[in-house]
């Protein structure tokens, strides 16, 4: 197979929208490089013009250039066999990945737009969202969202749950399947090594320092 040549370009040194991609790359034993573009450089506008939606992050796999963090995950899902074993599983994986994205979007809105005024209400409402994923994981005995092996949607859910545990350390206490999902993924050796690394630990979760 051709040499793999993965490069992430980001706006901020943060977990942010590349969190799940990094966890997935780690677990799949894939090395990657990162370039953080500083604010001054970004404001010049030259790089922005080359970005399909005028935004980062950008993911490059050799000659393939992608924008949209969930497209990175889908690409890696196809490349590493983490996109289900048939069309039906793939469709369900897409569905759950979009469900995770809805939660991530709510989280980011709270973090960036209403942290001071909306954090408590967000945490109070959180079980209403987490219970949906709890039900899926409780039903699918493999410990993964779909089928019997890990998919990109699992990495995405895992990353969102880690960030929510920082926001509200007890948020998974009444969800045994989510708790065990987080424990299982955290214990996968390559994920554990990544989460224990300085590269990960030095990163703030969000670019504005709120978490
Ligand atoms: N839906 C996109 C969102 C990307 C996004 O929000 N990028 C922001 C910060 S990470 C950005 O590039 N902001 C700078 C700008 O819009 O000029 C994704 O998932 O990748």
Write down all domains in the chain, each with its CATH number in brackets: 6-81+194-201 (3.40.30.10), 87-188 (1.20.1050.10)
Judge contact between 7 and 60, C-beta under 8 A. Answer: yes
> 152-167 vs 176-187: helix axis angle to the nearest 10?
110
| Cβ of residue 97 lying under 6 Å from some atom of ligand 1 | no
Q: What is the mean pLDDT of the chain?
A: 96
- Given a cut of 60, whether residue 32 has pLDDT beyond it is yes
Q: How confident is the model at residue 4 (pLDDT cuts 50, 70, 90)?
A: low
| Cβ of residue 57 lying under 6 Å from some atom of ligand 1 | yes
How much is the average pLDDT of 6-26? 95
Q: How confident is the model at residue 5 (pLDDT cuts 50, 70, 90)?
A: confident
Give CA–CA dist 200/207, Å, rounded.
Answer: 14
| Cβ of residue 101 lying under 6 Å from some atom of ligand 1 | no
**Ligand 1 geometric centre to CA of 13 (Å):** 13
pTM equals 0.97
The number of the ligand 1 atom at minimal distance from the alpha carbon of 56 is 12
- For atom 20 of ligand 1, the residue with the nearest CA is 68
Residues 80-121 pLDDT 10s: 999 999 999 999 999 999 999 999 999 999 999 999 999 999
**Ligand 1 geometric centre to CA of 55 (Å):** 4
- For atom 15 of ligand 1, the residue with the nearest CA is 55
Please tell me the number of Cα atoms within 13 Å of 39 on its side-chain side: 2
| Cβ of residue 14 lying under 6 Å from some atom of ligand 1 | no
Furthest C-alpha separation in the chain: 52
| Cβ of residue 69 lying under 6 Å from some atom of ligand 1 | yes
Give CA–CA dist 36/115, Å, rounded.
Answer: 25
């Amino acid at each position: 197979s051709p040499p793999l040549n993965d490069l992430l370009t980001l706006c901020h040194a943060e977990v942010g929208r590349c969190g799940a991609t990094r966890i997935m790359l780690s677990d799949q034993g894939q090395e990657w490089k990162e370039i953080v573009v500083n604010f001054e450089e970004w404001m010049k506008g030259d790089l922005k013009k080359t970005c399909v939606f005028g935004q980062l992050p950008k993911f490059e796999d050799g000659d393939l250039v992608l924008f949209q963090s969930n497209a990175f995950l889908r690409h890696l899902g196809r490349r590493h066999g983490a996109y289900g074993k048939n069309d039906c599983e793939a469709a369900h994986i897409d569905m759950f990945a979009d469900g995770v994205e809805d939660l991530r979007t709510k989280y980011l809105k709270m973090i960036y737009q209403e942290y001071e005024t909306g954090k408590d209400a967000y945490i109070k409402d959180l079980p209403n969202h987490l219970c949906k994923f709890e039900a899926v994981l409780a039903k699918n005995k493999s410990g993964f969202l779909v089928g019997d092996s890990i998919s990109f949607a699992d990495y995405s859910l895992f990353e969102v749950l880690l960030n929510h545990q920082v926001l509200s350390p007890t948020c998974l206490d009444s969800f045994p399947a989510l708790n065990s999902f987080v424990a299982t993924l955290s214990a996968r050796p390559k994920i554990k090594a990544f989460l224990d690394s300085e590269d990960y630990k030095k990163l703030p979760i969000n670019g504005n320092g709120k978490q």
